[in-house]
Copies of this chain bind each other. A is one copy, B any other.
Amino acid sequence: MEINGVTIDNTYAEAFPTWVCRVIITAVTNDWARKAATEATGFATSAIGCPCEAGIECDIPASETPDGRPGVAILICASKKKLKEQVVERLAECILTAPTTAVFNGITDAEEKIPVKLHFFGDGYEYQKEVGGRKCWVIPIMNGEYVGEEEFGIVKGVAGGNFFVMGENQMAALVGAQAASDAIADMKGVITSFPGGIVASGSKVGSLKYKFMVASTNEKYCPTLREKVADSKIPAGIKAVYEIVIDGVDEKSVAAAMGAGVKAAAMVPGVKFISAGNFGGTLGPYKLELHKVL
């Protein structure tokens, strides 16, 4: 299959379940909501070495937030146990500390909820108040009062949706990956947790040589090793590969993001081949076929 002359591999992305929490951050301007969201979703690329995976989902216009202020939605993804801890810590350290912020539950119809009891920070001066129909706590702080909901819906979502953008050279692959990341940036229900939404160094589980490593370079996807390893997955003429990794609230959202991303990458000159990563079903139950998501 081809799009704009780019071969789309007949394969699938293998994804796995994760728990997902969606937090709506509002602030006095979009810029301040974004700054808080960026800090709160940092150091959260991969569950392999970070305490969670997190990213900015989308802006939410003031007309659609509970308090009528500009908003940004973030997704935080982890195991259920880790998720609660990470939502608490990231809200406490990165959003409560940020100028003019408020936080609201982003999945109001979730069956499961986690408590995020920041109000103890108020040391007894906190009080309850309804904002936009939401039951919130108000905490006196230095810049005035912080407002936040303290129950957040969580859902069983999908992590590890992915595709590989392969280029005739590094810059073609990079801009192709960036176009894909742009296409996904405002889509609902999904995030790309890596820097700029792009992975430069995909890994395999464990290591052949260093037994103490939990992950190591995926040599079959390394262009410079194409002639040195058996079973290289690098097609002839490919000099660089970037992976777009997508987490989302459900399989449908992840599939839609994959489709939009693949199409956008294929429009960039010098992108030659698009594939996806899977592990024969050992990683997870979701199979997102490239030819179907388009």
Contacts and interface: CB of A to CB of B under 8 A. Distances in A.
Interface of A: 4, 28-32, 35-36, 38-46, 48-51, 59, 61-63, 67-70, 89-90, 92-101, 120-125, 139-146, 164, 167-179, 182-183, 185-186, 194-196, 198-203, 207-210, 212-213, 215-219, 221-225, 228, 239-243, 260, 263-264, 267-270
A142 B264 contact: no
A164 B35 CA distance: 20
B242 A125 contact: no
B224 A140 contact: yes
B228 A183 contact: no
Contacts of A221: 142
A155 to B, nearest CB: 22
A140 to B, nearest CB: 4
B146 A99 contact: no
Contacts of A171: 28, 167, 169, 171-172, 174-176, 268-270
Contact of A62 (B42, B183, B207, B210): B183
Contact of A269 (B61, B170, B175): B170
The count of identical subunits is 4
Contact of A267 (B69, B98, B222): B69
A183 B68 CA distance: 10
Contacts of A68: 4, 263-264, 267
B49 A89 contact: yes
A182 B62 contact: yes
B99 A177 contact: yes
A185 B243 CA distance: 30
A284 to B, nearest CB: 20
Given A120-B207, A175-B175, 5 more contacts: A28-B175, A29-B178, A97-B200, A140-B222, A169-B270
A260 B143 contact: no
A43 B40 contact: yes
A125 B240 contact: no
A101 B208 CA distance: 25
A189 to B, nearest CB: 15
Contacts of A178: 29, 31
A146 B41 CA distance: 24
Contacts of A4: 68
B48 A93 contact: yes
Contacts of A101: 200
Contact of A123 (B41, B46, B170, B213): B213
Contacts of A96: 200-201
Given A40-B43, A42-B39, A123-B216, A145 B224 contact: yes
B100 A260 contact: no
A86 to B, nearest CB: 9
